[in-house]
């Protein structure tokens, strides 16, 4: 047994950090490596079978400014992949098309070819605009051991490939029994994102943040507290929360900023009475912890999972915020509508089906 490289979005983002923790906890006899900036290493400090390798980030910045496409991250990835048993690419929105997608495809192809075995877990595919983008990845996927998507929409695009499967989101497989209670009580969580940096949603920023204020006011008027929760500082969640609190200040309006303490962040949601779920994994965690929730949708990845779950309660796309019904949201949160997820939790463990087989044969 050598080891395994984890390829993931390591930016102190609660959802992605949970992916990594669940993976490492599932295979305590395996040794894992992850490449992550030192400032984003805190979430992994307590994971005993995970070693964090820091890329030379200041050199990467110089290289990119000079117009080169290679980085120390890519060089390290290929080097580690060659020496170890497998690469596990784990994450949600890891196949979104961007302006630099052709170079990313080339680097991804090199990494697959450098790997002894390659697995993709927990992802969705897209959004994308060009059919060529789809074709490139369709060809790449043929060369990996296994890929397990988390929604039917993504799976349907590649179901002709024998190595492609589908199972619910990995976070549904989280063992939630050991999560402690949070220090606060009698409160609701509102997951907040920053629309400033999202080109397709930027125009709705003021409407969205006003809606968060209006929901908070109604909950507080009903004698509840509200916790505005940031999942990822890097993506601006904290900036948006500070803007909201500047507009509406109340002693019962609190803020929680995730800084890498996963048990504490999970306890914030588990101890709440319900969740306004903008972040994708705030919705998944609300479901996991049997909390009433309102999906405030910023991405089709959320809508696709809602459709898979046959969710028939009130939800809204951020682009439709002008039509929002605050009373309906607050009633939905306070009336306590729950879901039986026992089957989904079992199904979520199938994300690891092929990896279980691989590690069993490589202990």
CATH superfamily placement of domain 4-166: Glycogen Phosphorylase B; (3.40.50.2000)
Confidence of residue 251 (pLDDT cuts 50, 70, 90): very high
Query: What's the token pair of residue 251?
Result: 């002693």
Q: Where are the alpha helices (DSSP H) in 222-352?
A: 237-247, 262-270, 280-288, 300-309, 326-335, 342-348
- pLDDT at residue number 22: 97
- pLDDT at residue number 65: 56
Half-sphere exposure of 35 (CA within 13 A, CB side): 19
- pLDDT at residue number 338: 65
> pLDDT exceeding 90 applies to what percent of the chain?
84
- pLDDT at residue number 326: 98
CATH superfamily placement of domain 187-344: Glycogen Phosphorylase B; (3.40.50.2000)
- Does 127 sit behind a cis peptide bond, omega within 30 degrees of 0 on the bond before it? yes
Q: Per-residue pLDDT for 298 more than 80?
A: yes
Q: Per-residue pLDDT for 135 more than 60?
A: yes
Domain coordinates of the chain in residue numbers?
4-166, 187-344
Residue the block writes with tokens 């619910």: 168
Half-sphere exposure of 169 (CA within 13 A, CB side): 27
How many DSSP H helices and E strands does the chain contain? Answer: 14, 13
323-327: long-range pairs with CB below 8 Å, 24+:
324/211, 324/214, 326/211, 326/214, 326/215, 326/218, 327/218
- pLDDT at residue number 56: 62
Phi, psi at residue 48, to the nearest 5°?
Answer: -70, -25
Q: Per-residue pLDDT for 62 more than 60?
A: no
- pLDDT at residue number 60: 56
- pLDDT at residue number 74: 87
**Mean pLDDT (whole number) for 127-142:** 96
Mean pLDDT taken over the chain? 93
Residue 194 and residue 116: Cα distance in Å, rounded?
39
Domains 4-166 and 187-344 share a fold: yes
- The total number of residues shown for the chain amounts to 363
């Amino acid at each position: 047994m050598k080891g395994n490289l984890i390829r993931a979005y390591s930016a102190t983002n609660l959802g992605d950090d949970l992916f990594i923790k669940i993976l490492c906890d599932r295979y305590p006899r395996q040794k894992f490596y992850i490449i992550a900036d030192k400032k984003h290493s805190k979430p992994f400090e307590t994971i005993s079978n995970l070693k964090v390798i820091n890329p030379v980030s200041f050199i990467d910045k110089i290289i990119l400014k000079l117009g080169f496409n290679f980085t120390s991250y890519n060089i390290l990835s290929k080097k580690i992949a060659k020496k170890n048993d497998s690469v596990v690419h784990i994450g949600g929105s890891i196949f979104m098309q961007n302006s630099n997608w052709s170079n990313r495809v080339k680097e991804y192809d090199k990494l697959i070819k450098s790997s002894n075995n390659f697995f993709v877990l927990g992802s969705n595919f897209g959004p994308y605009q060009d059919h060529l983008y789809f074709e490139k990845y369709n060809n790449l996927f043929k060369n990996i051991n296994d890929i397990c998507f988390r929604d039917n929409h993504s799976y349907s695009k590649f179901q002709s490939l024998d190595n492609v499967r589908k199972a619910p989101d990995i976070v549904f497989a989280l063992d939630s029994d050991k999560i402690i209670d949070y220090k606060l009580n009698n409160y609701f969580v509102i997951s907040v994102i920053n629309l400033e940096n999202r080109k397709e949603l930027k125009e709705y920023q003021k409407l969205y943040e006003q809606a968060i204020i209006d929901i908070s006011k109604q909950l507080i008027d009903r004698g509840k507290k509200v916790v505005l929760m940031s999942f990822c500082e890097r993506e601006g969640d904290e900036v948006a929360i500070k803007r909201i609190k500047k507009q509406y200040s109340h002693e019962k309006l609190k803020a929680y900023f995730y800084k890498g303490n996963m048990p504490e962040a999970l306890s914030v949601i588990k101890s709440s009475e319900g969740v306004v779920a903008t972040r994708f994994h705030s919705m998944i965690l609300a479901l996991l912890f049997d909390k009433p929730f309102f999906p405030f949708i910023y991405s089709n990845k959320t809508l696709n999972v809602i459709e898979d779950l046959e969710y028939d309660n009130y939800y809204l796309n951020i682009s439709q915020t002008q039509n929002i019904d605050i009373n309906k949201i607050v009633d939905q949160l306070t009336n306590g509508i729950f879901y039986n997820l026992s089957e989904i939790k079992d199904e979520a463990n199938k994300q690891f089906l092929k990896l279980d087989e691989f590690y069993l044969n490589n202990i």
